[in-house]
Structure 1
């Protein structure tokens, strides 16, 4: 029986991961930057310009959104530590997307490197 770790390792063998040091350029080059974490994780902080599509809804959202259906989109994914992003990248490859990469180490590596984190502003009611 395979474990989640086995599935992530198999996905990482199939997908291209980029290092945090190269991520800023990859973000500029991407057509879409996707945070595949859960909504509460995204709300706590995310990479500027990222759209939130949780791992569980990824295939459905990409299939339903005409702006995301071109198979030659340059897609960059990330999650907390890179496991969910690797699984998501493998799924998108299986759907026929040609240019899918993920950030090695994910959001945690990005934040640990001192890179900027976007947080939604709390509205003021004053």
Structure 2
């Protein structure tokens, strides 16, 4: 499973958040694309339009399980994708900004 540490992510890296709507609304990384795992197959076209054509996709969820599933799927499709180790829990613990759906400080559910 290709993985990346939160500490290795840079501003501007493409981040795909596959958590459910309530988790996203409570707190997410600014600029991330949100497509819940439960809707990913149906919204795959939306992902392909937003994803970088020549860059890596960093997939994140709460702790790494759901994002691992999506990462493996994307890799099978020939897309350079990596799972963010530890997910949003590690993101928040590392002091990275977490915003709610109104742009205020958020929390990770």
What interval of TM-score do these two structures reach, taking the shorter chain for normalisation?
0.7 to 0.9
Gaps of 5+ in 1: 1-14
Larger Cα-atom Rg: 1
Look up the match of 1:59. 41
Answer yes or no: is the 8 Å Cα contact 2:24–2:101 preserved in 1: no
Gaps of 5+ in 2: 104-109
Q: TM-score, normalised by structure 2?
A: 0.80
1:89 aligns with 2:71: yes
1:44 aligns with 2:26: yes
What is the aligned residue count?
Answer: 103
Q: After the TM superposition, which parts of structure 1 deviate over 6 Å for at least 4 consecutive aligned residues?
A: none
- With CA pairs under 8 Å and 6+ residues apart, which has the higher RCO, 1 or 2? 2
1:20 aligns with 2:2: no
> How big is the alpha-carbon RMSD for the aligned residues of Structure 1 and Structure 2?
2.2
